[in-house]
Chains A and B, each alone.
Chain A
Amino acid sequence: MRGNPESHHFIDAANLDEILALLAKEPGEWTAIAGGTEIMVAHAAGRLSAKKLINLWGVPELSNIVVTETHLSIGGGVTFNQIRHDATIIAEFPLLAQAASWIGSIANQSRATIAGNIVNGSPAADAPPALLVYDAEIELISHKGTRRLAYSDFHTGYKQSLLLSSELVLAIHLPRHHEQQIKYLRKVGTRRAMAITKVALAGTASSVHHAITRIRIAAASVADRPLRLIATEAALLNEPLNESTLSRARKALWSEVRPIDDLRSTAEYRKQVIANLLDEFLTQIARSSPS
């Protein structure tokens, strides 16, 4: 343990209002901590710069999954263990359940929360690609009230987002689609479990007569943030799945990803594998498409 607990101030609050009041009163001073699966790792390595920590673990307003007619809403404090075992998520948002099952270890999943995964802002995070293809909205809360944004706009750069220092993630809202979709999710990690993503691709699509009528594609670890692949989607929408479409889609993909070399992999590898995963997804669409 390289961090010194004495150099940090850690407090509990009575309720969500009190937490929000404190965030508003001392802007930028406080870092919210829920499961601690990122913050405690930084602390153990002696590189946790945040001095003041406020505990979010178990705050009731953040802890539930709520299903309405139109949406499934996941509180910011919901853990990946809850997500991977939730019957509605398994049935209607299976890519999210699957991504949840890939996060760290079982112990990590029992502590790590969806808001933590999002706010930490890692481009390699497992949940964001699934959230992006499900058209997630993110709801933020401060002492002034709430605001709701398209999740695809939330991340603005490497570990940068629209979250203000006075705000917390209240919930993630997923619109419920009832039509059949083709779905794809593949994580390429450094190993089969306990792995950080080298490249991942998520996709959902509907097609009629070999033409794609609706498509969402998102990726991890190919840019400075979790990325929805808008240009690639555009190259495929309403197009027949033939060689020239595939070739244009690949060009569009390569125009919008910015992979890098790091400890885990290389830019070249990532660039090629993300294209291979796209091919695999499109092949799956072609096979599943009713003619």
Chain B
Amino acid sequence: MTASSNLRTVGTPQLRKEGVDKVLGRAKYIDDLEREGIWYGATVRSTIPRGRILAIHYDARVDWSEFVIVSAGDIPGKNHIQMISADQPCLADGQVNHCDEAIVLIAHPDKRRLPEALAAIYIDYEPLRAVLSIEESETQEEIIWGPHTSEGNIFKQFHLEKGNVDSVWAEAAYIVEGEYRTGAQEHLYIENNGAIAEYDEVTGITVWGSLQCPFYVHKSLMAVFDLPAEKVRVIQVETGGAFGGKEDYPSILAAHAGLLAMKARRPIKIVYDRMEDLAATTKRHPSRTRHRTAIDKNGKLLAMEIDIATDGGAYATLSSTVLSRATLHSTGPYVCPNIRITSRAWATNTVPCGAFRGFGAPQSIFAIERHMEQVALAVGLDSDEIRRRNFLHDGDTTATEQVMVEPVILDTLLDRALEVSDFHARQSEFARLNPLSPVKRGIGLAAFYHGSGFTGSGERYLNSLAGIDVTTDNKVRVLVSSTEFGQGTNTILTQIAAEALGIGYEDVIMAPCDTGIVPNSGPTVASRTSMVVGKLIERAGRQLVTGLRQDAGLLDNYSTQDFFTSCLRYRELHGKVESLCRYEAPPNIYWDDQHYRGEAYPAFAWAVYVAEVAVDTTTYSAEVTNFHTVQEVGRVLNPTLAAGQIEGGVAQGIGYALYEKVLYNNGHMLNNQMTNYIMPTAQDVPSISVHFEEIPFAHGAFGAKGIGELPHDGPAPAILNAIQNAINQSFTSIPLLPEDIFIRVTSDAHEQEQITV
């Protein structure tokens, strides 16, 4: 189903706006940039997970007069990173709460001198008892964050009730319980974190960085340097991937570079190497989700009781909003009259967890979609049938009592997924062939949604502003703080502007992503760029065309030349050609933050994914051998980029499920190298088929909804469901490594032997 349209640019596979520069090596990333007289910065980090700092010693064998040294006492403003809470220090002052926490910064004109200098700074600690897991934090025996009450160690909690859960257990035909766990995951953007800062008494502080959210950094720098908004400038340079990993961390790094620049009175560059980036920056929140579900004799859900716990690490960062999204995706795309969800984000003495593609949804979708597989087995229905019987449809309500007013086509998506994957035929074929082979094959599916845009009232608080202007040399510029980091922001926003203005894609460029130039269109997160920011650009474009018709004589059926001619006239009248629009919530959106009730998201992207796996009983390894995706994301703005998002998300989801394991030793990441933190290679990723259904969403740009996070949500449960189909073993934790499969199948064999004996 392709939406009929007379669109010229939107929906076409335009080449990436910055693609040629990237391919030809002309794109300048942070480490490609130099400034006159630049020095290089490095960071002294904690080596214990929790303790008091007693003393800092500088080895006399180093000539410290050559270095600039910054510690907490040098901070002119507030020693905290301004995120949702202000609990995370910019530099540890008196106490450390996780390994690899920044304590001291040094800078030197010769970067080769930095490692030996770092090694010559010694810190004496009085160690304090560290809390290193959700379970330890839950005991509240040691309070490491918050008040010394029952609220201690809890960054955030939610409680959600729909209907009356307690009333139905007695009448349930089946009750299924399960506990599911997900691990930390590293983003592995190609380019590590890096920033350059410059300080000047008159103009204030300027930071160039590899980052997602220029205005988050801007806000944070204002607090650390105690400067007004106009004396802080943040410029995003070409950014080599982010996946959420450059949502909050760049605020810390920018402040570090800025503090050194202020003290050194010269530009400072800090670029992490991979080992430092892996050890010190955020990861995906580990989670534990418990489900207790009542089902009637026909396989319909009667009640869902869900308990979610996430590990937030040592500081609050984004844990509350990650937990919110985990909570709001925990029922899956199913309708159920009685729901209770409790969720908590716990503090531990590990590196703070942060944003990562999916933002809590992959965790809770893994749980519900593995759980539905167990429900199917208990009831005696096929994987597809149990889901079909419980899917949300138009007019149904979610856990927050949000009524599905937009079309929900889960049945269509499921039908198509079964068809393109030849699901039932493959399942029978594998069942027939598996006994003859040491390699057992299986097929599994997962159905899910991903809410587009900020949760609840988030977009209203953001109050984004975005627009376009026209330069004197006849280029339309898109004015946004939305950033390009490989996912296609530049391309889709210029496509949208070109479409709304009725001019060519090549006539539109992006304005520099510089807080001194562009308005605050919000952070580049939460699958909001296409839908929310894109819509602002569409409106700004239409508004400008209206203005040109009214004031500057633009006629119908205008050519590009006519357009720019009337821009000239418009400029003579108004001094500039600019059109900005501010966010307006879609009508009939209501959200109650207190009770977590109402329209959690203005729109949802929907999907059904199918994985085929091969489990080798010689090596106990599971591989994904084929993958099918069917999704409804509203209008597809650029089919090449959209397919790329899906394929990349699936690859990252395969890593999450089967390969990527963050190993800790006393809170320090042990495998902080790409040789030991195993992400799948091209050879480990199978062919991925991508199918879109398009139902344009009236309040998204030309009908677009969010797409970027959706593909990370479904692979892990689909893959583990397929493994269950292959070897009849139900695994409940990811990452699932060969060593885990080995333990299960050999201990099972051992038990069998003992039973026989």
Q: Interface on A for B, CB 8 Å cutoff?
A: 1-7, 44-46, 188, 190-196, 198, 263-266, 268-269, 272-273, 276-277, 279-280
Quote the shortest CB–CB distance from B503 to chain A (angstroms).
Answer: 44
Assembly CA distance A7 to B683 (angstroms): 39
> Given A6-B112, A191-B659, A276-B618, is A266 in contact with B739 using a C-beta cutoff of 8 Å?
yes
- In chain B, what residue has the closest Cβ to A4? B112
Which of B341-349, B484-492, B671-679 forms part of the interface with chain A?
B671-679
Q: Which residues of B contact A2 (CB under 8 A)?
A: 115, 273, 275
Q: How far is the CB of A37 from chain B (nearest CB, A)?
A: 12
Q: Please tell me if the beta carbons of B112 and A192 are within 8 angstroms of each other in the complex.
A: no
CA distance A196 to B671 in the complex (A): 13
A263-B663, A264-B676 known; A46 vs B115 contact (CB < 8 Å): yes
Q: List 16 A-B contacts (CB under 8 A).
A: A1-B112, A2-B273, A44-B273, A191-B679, A191-B684, A192-B623, A192-B684, A193-B684, A263-B663, A269-B738, A269-B739, A269-B742, A273-B618, A273-B620, A276-B618, A277-B618
Which chain B positions have C-beta within 8 A of A263?
Answer: 663, 670-671, 676
Report the minimal beta-carbon distance from B679 to chain A, rounded to whole angstroms: 8
Partner of A196, one of B618, B675, B742: B675
Our pick among A193, A272, A277 for the contact of B742 (Cβ within 8 Å) is: A272
Contacts of B275 in A (CB 8 A): 2, 45
Residues in chain A near residue B671, CB distance under 8 A? 263
- Say whether B557 faces chain A, with CB atoms less than 8 Å apart: no
**Whose C-beta in chain A lies nearest to the C-beta of B746?**
A272
Which chain B residues lie closer than 8 Å to A276 at the CB level? 618-619
Given the complex of chains A and B, what is the CA–CA distance between A23 and B325 in angstroms? 64
How far in angstroms is the closest Cβ of chain A from B55?
25
A239 to B112, CA, bound (A): 62
B643-690: which have CB < 8 Å to A?
A: 659, 663, 670-671, 673, 675-676, 678-684
| Contact between B681 and A191, CB atoms less than 8 A apart | yes
> Helix, strand, loop or mixed for chain A's interface?
loop
The residue in chain B whose Cβ has the minimal distance to the Cβ of A276 is: B618
Contacts of B681 in A (CB 8 A): 191-194
Q: Are B116 and A4 in contact (CB under 8 A)?
A: yes
**Quick one: CB contact mask for B110-145 with A, threshold 8 Å, 1 for yes?**
001101100000000000000000000000000000
Residue B621 is within 8 A (CB to CB) of chain A in the complex? yes
Contact check, B113 vs A4: say whether CB atoms are below 8 A apart: yes
Question: Which residues of chain A are within 8 angstroms of B619 by Cβ–Cβ distance?
Answer: 188, 273, 276
The residue on B at minimum CB distance from A198 is: B738
Question: Beyond A4-B112, A4-B115, A263-B671: 14 further Cβ-contacts under 8 Å?
Answer: A45-B673, A188-B621, A191-B678, A191-B680, A191-B684, A193-B681, A198-B738, A265-B738, A265-B739, A268-B743, A272-B746, A273-B618, A276-B618, A280-B618
B contact residues vs A (CB 8 Å cutoff):
112-113, 115-116, 273, 275, 618-621, 623, 659, 663, 670-671, 673, 675-676, 678-684, 738-739, 742-743, 746
- B116: A residues at CB distance < 8 A: 4, 7
Which single residue of chain B is at the shortest CB-CB distance from A190? B678
A219 to chain B, nearest CB (A): 14
- Are A3 and B115 touching (Cβ within 8 A)? yes
Within the complex, the shortest CB–CB distance from A2 to chain B, in Å, comes to 4
Contact A269 B684 (CB under 8 A): no
The CA-CA distance from A44 to B659 in the complex, in Å, is 25
- CB proximity of A136 to chain B, nearest CB, Å: 27
Complex Cα spacing A266 to B273, Å:
29
Q: State the CA gap A193–B680 with chains docked (Å).
A: 9
Q: Which of B620, B679, B682 contacts A269 (CB 8 A)?
A: B620
Residues on the A chain within 8 Å of B113, using CB: 4
Chain A contacts for B684, CB-based, 8 A:
191-193
Chain A residues whose C-beta falls within 8 Å of the C-beta of B742 in the assembled complex: 268-269, 272-273
Contacts of B676 in A (CB 8 A): 263-264
Cα A238 to Cα B529 with chains together (Å)? 71
In Å, the complex CA distance between A272 and B113 comes to 47
Q: For the complex, give the distance between the alpha carbons of A259 and B525 in Å.
A: 45
| Interface-centre pick from B678, B683, B743 (highest chain A CB count, 10 A) | B678
Complex alpha-carbon distance, A257 and B591, angstroms? 63
Q: Which residues of A contact B115 (CB under 8 A)?
A: 2-4, 46
Residues of B near A198 (CB, < 8 A) are 738
Residue of B112, B618, B663, B683 near A191 (CB, 8 A) is B683
Smallest beta-carbon distance B513→chain A, Å: 29
Residues from chain A with a CB closer than 8 A to the CB of B739 are: 265-266, 269
A5 B112 Cβ-Cβ under 8 A: yes
Q: How far is the CA of A277 from the CA of B618 in the complex (A)?
A: 7
| Distance A46 CA – B743 CA, assembled complex (angstroms) | 37
Q: Which residues of B contact A273 (CB under 8 A)?
A: 618-620, 742
Judge whether B273 and A193 touch: CB under 8 Å: no
- Docked Cα-Cα span, A272 to B739, in Å, equals 10
Q: How far is the CA of A2 from the CA of B683 in the complex (A)?
A: 31
CB distance from A120 to the nearest CB of B (A): 14
Structural contact, B273 and A1, CB atoms closer than 8 A: yes
Residue of B659, B671, B739 with most chain A CB atoms under a 10 A cut-off? B739
Contacts of B659 in A (CB 8 A): 190-191
Docked pose: A285 CA to B683 CA in angstroms: 29
Q: Which residues of B contact A268 (CB under 8 A)?
A: 742-743
CA distance A194 to B676 in the complex (A): 11
When chains A and B are docked, how far (Å) is the Cα of A64 from the Cα of B353?
A: 52
Q: How far is the CB of A267 from chain B (nearest CB, A)?
A: 10
